[in-house]
Amino acid sequence: MCTAADGPPHAVADPVELEALLDEPLPEDGSDLTGLLDHLAQDVLPLGIRFDHPRCFAFVPTTGNYPAVLADLLSTAHLSVPGAWLVGSGPTRVELTALNWLKELLGLPGHWGGLFVSGGSVANLTALAAARDHHLGGDLTGARLYCSTQAHPSIARAVHLLGLGRDQLIALDPDAGQRLDPRGLAARIDADLAAGLRPFAVVATVGTTSTGAVDPVTDLARLCRRYGLWLHVDGAHGAAFALSDRGHALRDALGRADSLTFDPHKWLFQPYETGCVLVRDPELLRATFRMSRHHLDTGYLHPAEARHDEVNLDDLGPQQSRGLRALKVWLSLKTFGAAAFRRAVDHGLHLSDHAAARITAHPDLDLASSPGLGILTFRCRPPGSPADPPAVDRLQQSVSDAVRATGQALLLTTRVHGRTVLRMCTINPATTTADIDAVLELVVRTGREAEQKPR
Ligand SMILES: Cc1ncc(COP(=O)(O)O)c(C=O)c1O
């Protein structure tokens, strides 16, 4: 059997070559399906990042898992739609059960509710739409929403889609640990209130994409309560930390928020698109998204209205026809059991601790940010390398490019306090400490080679 580890973690094609391969006239007549599947599997789909490769440390990798792949196949074959109860009562019940399991895994109270969405971006949009409607009604004048500059860009995109201007999102500089500082935030909110503006929401990130930093959710929840603001936690990557023993305190903190983004297609090892939004008061999702709240009523949906204790999940989010994403989570949790997922999250934490210890001990490597939720950043500083910041920054980029060119590993760069650093996200359960050691040695070797090249 061919596994991800047999090939390189990354393959990219030249756009012109790929156009020549794939830009064909509309096929008026059909062709042999087996041949087409071979063509896709050999020539097309491998072009990209192998996120399940044990030496892929880029972005937030996922592994997928076999039961989840079968779940996708099954729900697609059955055209399952957990939209209205009438349309898909079985699929809806599966989704409600999977949501209950996610709440239990994250330590959220039972009365929270929500739904599966495509991923973190749509989860953030969905939660912030409810926050906007609940706090602002239809009047967006002077509204202000706060996050740190380390929040995911999907927050800014959500703000735009929700009809708020750029100046209505206040992105504050983080503290030295890249966290949103509650004192700085309170000062800014006070100033905005004094200026007659209307603060309505704060976004805390649990596991920033760049460094895995965790905003102080409990303090921010207290602050939001004091000012009467909505607290949204973007835990797309990091909420999974709550599964581990080390993350136990996070379970209590998450429950203090008003809404939470969680992406099982990140640290819960699911295939794309498996995102999830959960809110303290699901009625607030219904208030925003319920189809009957909106003005067009052609009558055709009346037969599908929920009766008694039936649930129409399409009333809680932006999609009407929606796939049964939840089945991936349901079938993989049933197949492997929650304990396997907890162990897998712990393994990722162990790997990033191991990497940090190796980096700290190596004379050529400097830790730039300590391992936060399976993500760490560092610099390569070979002996005799220049100290001026632009040259150090360029070296990190060269090392990342050179490592990628070997086809043995993929680690990309990010910026920490304005400086370029190498970044690793170590959450793949198939990655071993030997993989980490080998990749760090490769970084050291390519760093020394890059340094010996004439400048
Ligand atoms: C913290 C955070 N929020 C949101 C997102 C966006 O998630 P998605 O790519 O699933 O839309 C990401 C993606 O990496 C993320 O790390």
User: Domain residues of the chain, as ranges?
Assistant: 69-337, 339-452
- pLDDT value at 100 more than 70: yes
What is the pLDDT confidence band of residue 6, given thresholds at 50, 70 and 90?
Answer: confident
Q: How far is the CA of 19 from the centre of ligand 1 (A)?
A: 29
Å from CA of 116 to ligand 1 middle: 14
* Number of Cβ within a 10 Å radius of residue 173: 12
Closest atom of ligand 1 relative to the 272 alpha carbon: 10
Q: Are 201 and 135 in contact (CB under 8 A)?
A: yes
How is domain 339-452 classified at the architecture level of CATH? Alpha-Beta Complex (3.90)
Q: Is it the case that residue 243 has pLDDT exceeding 70?
A: yes
For the ranges 83-92, 292-301, 312-321, 405-414, the lowest mean pLDDT is seen at: 292-301
The crossing angle, in degrees rounded to 10, of helices 389-406 and 433-452 is: 120
What separation in Å is there between the alpha carbon of 240 and the centre of ligand 1?
13
Q: Does domain 69-337 have CATH number 3.40.640.10?
A: yes
Q: pLDDT band at 292, cuts 50/70/90?
A: confident
pLDDT at 454: 63
Report the pLDDT value the prediction gives residue 451, as an integer from 0 to 100: 80
- When pLDDT is averaged across residues 284-309 and rounded to a whole number, the result is 91
Assign 291 a pLDDT band (cuts: 50, 70, 90).
confident
At 269 the pLDDT is 98
Q: For ligand 1, which residues put their CB under 6 angstroms from it?
A: 60, 119-121, 152, 154, 205, 209, 234, 236-237, 263, 275
Evaluate whether 69-337 and 339-452 have a shared fold: no
Look at residues 377, 353, 365, 434 and name the one whose alpha carbon lies nearest to residue 54.
434
Atom of ligand 1 nearest to the CA of 119: 10
**Which backbone phi and psi does 422 adopt, to 5 degrees?**
-80, 150
According to the model, what pLDDT value does residue 4 have? Answer: 79
Q: If you average pLDDT over residues 57-64, what whole number do you get?
A: 96
In ligand 1, the atom with minimum distance to the C-alpha of 124 is 4
The pLDDT confidence band at residue 455, using thresholds 50, 70 and 90, is low
For position 323, what pLDDT does the model report? 98
Please tell me the distance between residue 313's alpha carbon and the centre of ligand 1 in angstroms.
23
The pLDDT of residue 453 is above 80: no
Give the pLDDT confidence score for residue 2 in this predicted structure: 58
Mean confidence (pLDDT) of the chain: 96
Pick the closest to residue 323 from 21, 44, 77 (CA basis): 77
Q: What is the mean pLDDT of residues 210-223?
A: 98
Given this model, what pLDDT does residue 37 score? Answer: 98
What does the pLDDT read at residue 322? 98
How many whole angstroms separate alpha carbon 229 and alpha carbon 216?
16
Which of these ranges, 2-11, 119-128, 129-138, 396-405, has the smallest mean pLDDT?
2-11
Q: What is the pLDDT of residue 372?
A: 87
Residue 89 confidence (pLDDT): 98
